[in-house]
Amino acid sequence: MHVIKVKDYEAMSEKACDILVKEMKSNERAVLGLATGSTPEGLYKRLIEKYKNHEVSFKQIKTFNLDEYVGLDKSDKNSYYYYMNDKLFKHIDIPPTHAALPNGKAENIAAECERYEKKIKNAGQIDIQVLGIGLNGHIGFNEPNTPFTSRTHVVKLDESTRQANARFFHSIDDVPTEAITMGIATIMDSKKILLLASGEKKAEILAQVIHGEITEKVPASVLQKHPNVTIIADEAALSKVKI
C-alpha cells in the first residue's frame, strides 16, 4: 500500500483529482469506479473544474458506482443516484448510459445484483476504483464479516452505518435498512484502488487498515493484499499511523 499524507481535506481532494485526471489523459476510455459519502465531494468539484477548463472529457469514460440504497427512488435526495447526478454527472459530458449505479428499486434485487456484476465484467476491468471508508472499516457497503470472495450483493446495513449516515436523512427511521453493493472481490478486481480518508474520526480505522491484521472483521484490511493501492489521507486521518 502506498500512503500519501496530505495536509487537509482540500489537499486530499486535489491529489485524488490529479491521479484521476492523469488516468483519463492516458486513457480516454478509462473505466472509473466511484464512491459516495462526504469524502469524495471535493474530488468531484475539482473534476468538474477540469472538465470546464477543457482539460478532460468524460465522453468515452465509463463509471460504476460502488453501491445504492434499496428502496429509494432515483429522485430521492438521499439516493446515491441523486447524489452522483447532483455532485458530478449533470455537470460533465458523460453519456447517461455510461454512468452506472445499481438500481435499488429493481423488482428483483438478486437479479439486479447479477446484472450489475455482469455489466462491470463486460466493461473490462475497472481502471481506478475510488473508495471512502466507513467507521467500521466498510468499503462500498461491505460491512464487517462480509466474505472477501463476495460479488455484487444485497446487504443489511449495520446499525452503526445507519447512525453514521442518518445525518443526511430526516430521522434514523428514514435510513434504509438494506443496500446493493459491489462485493469485496468485485472491488479487488480493479486494476488500481484509491482510498480517500479525511478527519480524526477515521484515524482509528485507518490505522487498523494499514497496520492491522487482514481480517473479514475489517473489510478494508483486504486492501493490503491488492497490488496497487494508494491511500490519500490527511494528517488528522493518519494521526494514529506511523509513517
Ligand X SMILES: N[C@@H]1[C@@H](O)[C@H](O)[C@@H](COP(=O)(O)O)O[C@@H]1O
What residues contact residue 228 under an 8 Å CB cut-off, 6+ apart? 191, 192, 193
Task: Please give the Cα distance from 17 to 196 (Å, whole number).
Answer: 11
Annotated catalytic residues are 67, 136, 138, 143
Which positions ≥6 away from 236 have C-beta within 8 Å? Answer: 8, 198, 199, 200, 202, 203
Smaller CB separation from ligand X, 140 or 183: 140
44 near ligand X, judged by CB under 6 A: no
In contact, 121 and 142? CB cutoff 8 Å? no
| Strand 2-6 to 31-34 pairing | unpaired
Candidate ranges 4-12, 34-42, 101-109, 144-152; the one touching ligand X (CB under 6 A): 34-42
> With b meaning 16 or more CB within 10 Å and e meaning fewer, what string describes 119-129?
ebeebeebbbb
Min separation Cβ 100 and ligand X, Å: 15
State which of residues 133, 203, 206, 223 lies at the interface with ligand X (CB under 6 A).
133
* Type and span of the H or E element at 181: strand 178-181
Q: Where are the alpha helices (DSSP H) in 37-176?
A: 41-52, 80-87, 109-122, 159-165
**Which position among 38, 145, 163, 177 is part of the footprint of ligand X (CB under 6 A)?**
38
Q: Taking the complex as a whole, how short is the minimal distance between the CB of residue 3 and ligand X, in angstroms? A: 18
* Minimal distance, residue 234 CB to ligand X, in Å: 13
- CA-CA distance, 148 to 184, in Å (whole number)? 5
Q: Does 233 bind ligand X (CB under 6 A)?
A: no
Determine if 137 is a binding residue for ligand X (CB under 6 A): no
Residues 55-114 contacting ligand X, CB under 6 A: 66-67
Smallest separation (angstroms) from ligand X to the CB of 53: 26
Contact between 140 and ligand X per CB under 6 A: yes
Shorter beta-carbon distance to ligand X: residue 67 or 127: 67
Least Cβ distance, residue 20 to ligand X (angstroms): 17
Identify which of residues 57 and 71 has a Cβ nearer to ligand X in the complex. Answer: 71
d(CA 90, CA 81): 11
Task: Choose the binding region for ligand X from 120-128, 134-142, 206-214, 225-233 (rule: CB under 6 A).
Answer: 134-142
Contact status: 183 vs ligand X (CB under 6 A): no
Residues within the interface to ligand X (CB under 6 A): 35-39, 66-67, 132-134, 140-141, 161, 165
